[in-house]
């Protein structure tokens, strides 16, 4: 079978096959020119070339894994340093309490005791911190977009709830004012001005009540949208697990492909070695097998971590 480049006069070996009907076979240089003119795709004929292309593309993901690991270590170090500083501060305060009590300074000791008891660290809002970590570390664009949308909806719900609370307070205040005006109107029924003010307040009360109903409807819609977004995130997690299985299968196929390539190369080299150099060839073959094993052991493992619920 002729394996030379399809361009007449080209001494290079054909390493690519185009997707045209004719299935032309060219060397790398002429395949690039052909693809630029016809916009067709090309596939590698040599398995070694195919493996090289795969490795080259995967190097970007290797670098991404390294960067994510470094970033996570930086954040962990910051948290660890903060923890150490707090533990040191607590030890210092414990010594102060001891000295206060020994020196009969009970009031100062009681103040420190009350301060420590009222901190309630576990009751602090951790949502902003968790969202910040997710925004910094997560790289899946679909998940980041969903997270941003949910955070916006949560902020909108919080604002609507705040507006709803303020409106209720305003309604209560206006109702109290109406009651006062009604009492005055009962005493001064002839005062048309007071009657007009009461009507105005009643109208404002109706408008405010209508606004509250709209706000309640908006809150219900936002909560429904949040539930839909959470369902989408669960769907993304399922897809991530499926992708992990595909990556594991691809990794197994790559291992088999690498071993097959090394074995073929070893067989070809063995055929070309004279009988007197056979022992040396066996040593070389053993080294190649060990190198293949080392390649398999050092191959990076890509695992999608589940983002979980929040």
Q: Note the pLDDT tens digit of each residue in 10-20.
A: 888 787 888 88
Q: Is 17 exposed, middle or buried (0-12, 13-18, 19+ CB in 10 A)?
A: middle
pLDDT at residue 204 in the model? 84
pLDDT at residue 302 in the model? 46
Using one digit for the tens of pLDDT, what is the confidence trace for 227-275? 888 888 888 888 888 888 888 888 888 888 888 888 887 777 776 655 4
- For the chain, strand residue ranges (E) read 16-18, 25-26, 42-44
Q: Is 26 exposed, middle or buried (0-12, 13-18, 19+ CB in 10 A)?
A: buried
What is the distance of C-alpha 33 from the center of its chain? 40
Low-confidence ranges of the chain (pLDDT < 70): 1-2, 46-50, 52, 141-154, 185, 188-194, 271-310
Question: CB 299: neighbour CB atoms within 10 A?
Answer: 14
**Encoding tokens for residue 143?**
């998940």
pLDDT at residue 310 in the model? 38
Q: Is 225 exposed, middle or buried (0-12, 13-18, 19+ CB in 10 A)?
A: middle
Q: Are 285 and 270 in contact (CB under 8 A)?
A: yes
């Amino acid at each position: 079978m002729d394996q030379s480049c399809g361009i007449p006069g080209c001494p290079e070996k054909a390493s690519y096959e185009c997707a045209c009907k004719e299935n032309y076979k060219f060397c790398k240089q002429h395949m690039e020119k052909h693809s630029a003119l016809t916009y067709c795709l090309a596939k590698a004929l040599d398995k070694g070339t195919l493996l090289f292309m795969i490795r080259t593309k995967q190097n970007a993901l290797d670098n991404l894994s390294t960067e994510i690991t470094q970033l996570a270590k930086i954040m962990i170090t910051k948290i660890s340093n903060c923890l150490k500083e707090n533990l040191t501060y607590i030890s210092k305060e414990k010594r102060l309490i001891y000295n206060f009590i020994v020196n009969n300074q009970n009031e100062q000791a009681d103040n420190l005791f009350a301060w420590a008891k009222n901190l309630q660290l576990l009751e602090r809002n951790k949502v902003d911190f968790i969202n910040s970590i997710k925004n910094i570390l997560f790289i899946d664009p679909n998940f980041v977009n969903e997270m941003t949308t949910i955070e916006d909806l949560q902020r909108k719900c919080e604002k609507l709830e705040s507006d709803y609370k303020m409106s209720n307070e305003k309604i209560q205040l206006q109702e109290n004012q109406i009651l006062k005006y009604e009492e005055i109107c009962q005493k001064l029924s002839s005062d048309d001005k007071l009657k007009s003010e009461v009507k105005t307040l009643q109208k404002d009360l109706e408008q405010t009540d209508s606004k509250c109903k709209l706000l309640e409807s908006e809150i219900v819609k936002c909560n429904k949208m949040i539930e839909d977004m959470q369902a989408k995130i669960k769907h993304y997690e399922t897809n991530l697990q499926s992708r992990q299985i595909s990556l594991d299968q691809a990794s197994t196929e790559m291992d088999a492909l690498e071993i097959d390539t090394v074995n073929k190369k070893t067989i070809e080299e063995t055929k070309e070695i004279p009988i007197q150099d056979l022992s040396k060839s066996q040593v070389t073959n053993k080294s190649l097998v060990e190198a293949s094993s080392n390649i398999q052991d050092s191959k990076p493992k890509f695992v999608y971590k589940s983002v979980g619920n929040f």
